[in-house]
Structure 1
Amino acid sequence: MALISVGLTHEGADLELLERMTVLEHDWAKVVRTLVSHRHISEALFISTCLRTEVVAVADRFHDALEEIVTTLALVSGVERTAFEEHLSVHFDRGVATYLFDVAAGLKSVVPGEHEVLGQLRRALELAVDERTAGPQIQALVNHALSAGRRVRHETTIARGTTSFAHAAVEAALDHLGEEAGGEVLVVGAGQLGTGVVKNLLVHERFTRVVIANRTLARAETLRGEVADSRVEIVSLEEVEARAARARITLICAELAEPIVTVKGLSTTSGERLIVDLAVPRGAERGVELLPGVGRVDLQTMRERVDAVLDDRRAALDDARRIVSEEVDRYVDDQRARGASAVVSSLRGHFDDIVAAEMDRRTSELDRLDGPTREVVTSLVRGVVAKIAHRPTVVLKESAGSDQGVRLAEATRQLFDL
């Protein structure tokens, strides 16, 4: 059984396609259940965020599993496969580990080193475990990836400065304001991204009121309790359009089935307004930026902003890649060693089963022997089988962790039908 990952990311697809392919988090469970219902997929993890929609799976046949994954992505997104198939990023076996470790380290993020991706991976794993679609292989892979991601942030400077969409979004808002007072700011969403945005906003005294709108008011109240700032106000999603017309800046950080800020809702307002739309699908209707005085920053704009400052982090990126390479080697060696141990255990069990079956088959003949003679015969048979198994066992253990060990382990499985 081998690892395979298939996904669509900002590196290979434009924002419009990513938006169409996005699956809201409350539907992830259905996706992983669909994946493991296929014949060639035994484990599955799914993640769909603003800039990536991806599947990690354990499969017995690469091409058949790839077909099953692509079919599932088309089904759950409602997008014809011909529209996205050529944009897919596909990895196999060791390549899956390298890619996922890069993701966890923030090397595949628009904002290198950002922290949100660790939380996203953790939630995806927790859901897959709850749905019983993540077995030992995926759990080992993702947990090691999370560990590698934490090590990268601890040992390099990749996470200094602008370290998240939340931070970058607030910087974009500040740049837009210039020397003006901040006034009232509306934040739509109180999840991980929205929480980061609110906390970054409250660092600045120029924002006199930070209004949080969330689907679940209790979650927004929890956030207000965390920040303990009198400038925070809580409203429902139904009040967003009216409050967006008042707010100097609106930041949309929630998963929404349809745009919550519309051209009609802003058309009667006056003065400068900025919409920072971090939602996928889009949280602000197309065309709002064409209204007089309304500016718009979206994920594409954010990507361009970050690209402009990446040169400051080249050394940190190189250090992060070195750490990821070390961690991938460690993960692969560990998995190979575990695989060899499992094969040795299975081989011994296989031989023990053969001995037991033959002894049972010959019970009537063995019953004719006296006790001491029967013990000698049994010991002789077990000793011969142990001698036969000794050399394969030693070679498998000695080659564990090497390419030769992988080949020998697979050959042993095939030869003895383990």
Structure 2
Amino acid sequence: MTLLVLGLSHRSAPISALEQVSLRPDQIDDLRGRLVLGQHVREAVVVGTCNRLEVYAEAETFHGAVTEITTALAEVSGADLTGLRPHLYVHHDERAVSHTFHVACGLDSMALGEGQILGQLRGGLRAAQHGGEVGPQLNSLFQRALRVGKAAHSETGIDDVAVGLVEAGLLAGEEVVGPLPGRHVLVVGAGAMSSLAAATSTRLGAGTLTITNRTPHKSEHLAASYDADSVPFEELGGALVAADVVVTCTGASAQVISAEQVQQALAQRPDRPLVLIDLALPHDVDRDVLQIPGVTLVGLEELGLLLAGDGQVPAQVEAVRELVAEEVASFLADRRRQAVAPTVAALRSRAAAVVEAELERLRARMPDLDEATDRQVALTVHRVVEKLLHAPSVRVKELAGAGGSGDYADALRELFDLDPQTVAAVSTADDDAAYPPDATRGLADLADLADLGPGLPTTLAEAVRRQAAS
């Protein structure tokens, strides 16, 4: 089995490519369902945010899973696979675990150290649990990732250096409209990012704050939390007239603010510039607003450049990286120990069967053996076998944790002539009916991946070459 992470993010793809794979919740459910019904993916979790879409999978085969995931992603999103491939990356096994933990700690986020990704990972896991597409392997990975992410925020001070997308956008807006105190900020939306926008605007001293959302009670609730005004979504045009800075992140599948609306708003306040901060994906704001004099549009791409910084690595980031490295090593050691556990269990099962067979043979030869003596003989034999198996059982798990679990498991199977089917029977306590049947189609033809071009952090082509060389 192989852990895989395949996807694209702001690090590997332009906003236009990310927009192509911006999936609705029902589409994400569809993608997971398709994957686990295939032949090569046993478990699947999909994490979709405004700047990433990633599929986490426990795979039967590396090449087959890569093919199934990329094909399913193209089918569900409607994106052209040829144009999508150069932006896709894939990590497997140790690199997959490391990437997952980096994501959970906010080290792979556009806003360094941001904590919202933890909720997004948790949401992806819960959706997969609800759909029955996650099993023990990915559940273990995500639970550990969530713990590592929490530890990073509570133990390393990463929050002290994390620069939020909202704050970066508002500070950029100040360069156009002047200091935020005394300015009118309009927040469009009422979700987590909109709540952050309201909180940040208040903290930075915005003179007036207005909230609007398609669902009135949500905008009213958010407005009440920050002593702000709430206006019906139907009055968005009028709200644009009053605003100096607009922060929008609605999660809508279509544009929320049109160029025509902005043009009409500016016609009523010709001497005041307007800053639009679009944190949504797909975009909330029509890109044609860039042609309107007096309008400044700040999107995710622009914020990515703002947050790039001077390249200096804060001490808190180094602390998080050290934490991640330690946790990755610990998780992989646990996974290797778990991998050898079925073989140990099969060995003990074989020993128990031998003991019972010999005791039955003894009872047949000595039918007059009294019950008390029979119990003492059975107990003694079991103790002897237990003591003989205890040291190798413990030692093989220790050695497996240090690396090479497959070698030690193979040695046990050979030395004790263990049937692979017996080992497989104790590999998991889960009902096999919950998973797709084991099947092998052979290696998929991945010759077309050879010319994927550069992608960050690891292109599919590079991963295929590494897998082939290993």
**TM-score class normalised by the smaller sequence:** 0.7 to 0.9
Q: Paired residue for 1:253? A: 249
Q: Paired residue for 1:235? A: 232
How far apart are 1:351 and its partner, in Å? 4.9
Structure 2 gap segments, 5+ residues each: 424-470
Q: Please give the residue correspondences for 1:308-327 in structure 2 after superposition, counting only pairs within 5 Å.
A: 308-311=309-312, 313-327=313-327
* Cα deviation code 1:81-136 (max 9, x no counterpart): 11111221111111111011111111111111111111211111122222222222
Q: Please give the residue correspondences for 1:15-414 in structure 2 after superposition, counting only pairs within 5 Å.
A: 15-179=15-179, 182-208=182-208, 210-227=209-226, 229=227, 231-236=228-233, 238-270=234-266, 271=270, 272-311=273-312, 313-352=313-352, 370=367, 372=369, 393-409=393-409, 412=412
* Cα deviation code 1:177-219 (max 9, x no counterpart): 22476443221221111110111112244432x2222243333
SS in 1 for 2:265: coil
Query: Which amino acid in 1 is paired with 2:2?
Result: A
Q: Which moved more, 1:393-402 or 1:14-23?
A: 393-402
Query: Which amino acid in 1 is paired with 2:215?
Result: T
* Cα deviation code 1:310-345 (max 9, x no counterpart): 53x433322221121111112222233343344422
Q: Paired residue for 1:416? A: 419
Specify whether residues 137 and 45 from structure 1 end up closer, same or farther in structure 2 by C-alpha distance, changes over 3 A only. Answer: same
How far apart are 1:20 and its partner, in Å? 1.1
For the residues of structure 2 that align with 1:410 and 1:56, how far apart are their CA atoms? 28
How far apart are 1:388 and its partner, in Å? 8.7
For the residues of structure 2 that align with 1:98 and 1:33, how far apart are their CA atoms? 26
For the residues of structure 2 that align with 1:10 and 1:75, how far apart are their CA atoms? 22
Query: Do the aligned residues in 1 keep the contact of 2:40 with 2:61 (CA within 8 Å)?
Result: yes
How far apart are 1:170 and its partner, in Å? 2.5
For the residues of structure 2 that align with 1:43 and 1:170, how far apart are their CA atoms? 41
Query: Which amino acid in 2 is paired with 1:69?
Result: I
Q: Please give the residue correspondences for 1:9-20 in structure 2 after superposition, counting only pairs within 5 Å.
A: 9-20=9-20
SS in 2 for 1:401: helix
Residue correspondences, number: 409
Specify whether residues 137 and 80 from structure 1 end up closer, same or farther in structure 2 by C-alpha distance, changes over 3 A only. Answer: same
SS in 2 for 1:91: strand
* Cα deviation code 1:355-413 (max 9, x no counterpart): 77x79xx99x987972539969x959979987996675354234131213343236657
How far apart are 1:292 and its partner, in Å? 1.5
Specify whether residues 180 and 41 from structure 1 end up closer, same or farther in structure 2 by C-alpha distance, changes over 3 A only. Answer: closer
* Cα deviation code 1:229-268 (max 9, x no counterpart): 1x331433x4434433442221111211111111111222
For the residues of structure 2 that align with 1:291 and 1:315, how far apart are their CA atoms? 43
Pick 1 or 2: higher relative contact order, CA cutoff 8 A, min separation 6: 2
How far apart are 1:350 and its partner, in Å? 4.9
Query: Which amino acid in 2 is paired with 1:275?
Result: L
For the residues of structure 1 that align with 2:47 and 2:298, how far apart are their CA atoms? 24
Query: Which amino acid in 1 is paired with 2:259?
Result: V
Query: Do the aligned residues in 1 keep the contact of 2:5 with 2:57 (CA within 8 Å)?
Result: yes
For the residues of structure 2 that align with 1:136 and 1:19, how far apart are their CA atoms? 32
For the residues of structure 2 that align with 1:397 and 1:371, how far apart are their CA atoms? 43
Query: Do the aligned residues in 1 keep the contact of 2:210 with 2:231 (CA within 8 Å)?
Result: yes
For the residues of structure 1 that align with 2:179 and 2:75, how far apart are their CA atoms? 49
Query: Do the aligned residues in 2 keep the contact of 1:167 with 1:196 (CA within 8 Å)?
Result: no
How far apart are 1:44 and its partner, in Å? 1.0
Query: Do the aligned residues in 1 keep the contact of 2:251 with 2:281 (CA within 8 Å)?
Result: yes
Query: Which amino acid in 1 is paired with 2:277?
Result: V
How far apart are 1:5 and its partner, in Å? 0.7
Query: Which amino acid in 2 is paired with 1:308?
Result: G
The TM-score with structure 2 as length reference comes to 0.78
For the residues of structure 2 that align with 1:31 and 1:138, how far apart are their CA atoms? 16
Specify whether residues 27 and 221 from structure 1 end up closer, same or farther in structure 2 by C-alpha distance, changes over 3 A only. Answer: farther
Query: Which amino acid in 1 is paired with 2:230?
Result: E
Specify whether residues 131 and 222 from structure 1 end up closer, same or farther in structure 2 by C-alpha distance, changes over 3 A only. Answer: farther
SS in 2 for 1:44: strand
For the residues of structure 1 that align with 2:83 and 2:355, how far apart are their CA atoms? 57
Specify whether residues 180 and 224 from structure 1 end up closer, same or farther in structure 2 by C-alpha distance, changes over 3 A only. Answer: closer
Structure 1 gap segments, 5+ residues each: none
For the residues of structure 2 that align with 1:167 and 1:256, how far apart are their CA atoms? 22
SS in 1 for 2:197: helix
Query: Do the aligned residues in 1 keep the contact of 2:180 with 2:205 (CA within 8 Å)?
Result: no
The TM-score with structure 1 as length reference comes to 0.86
Quick one: percent identity of the two aligned structures?
30
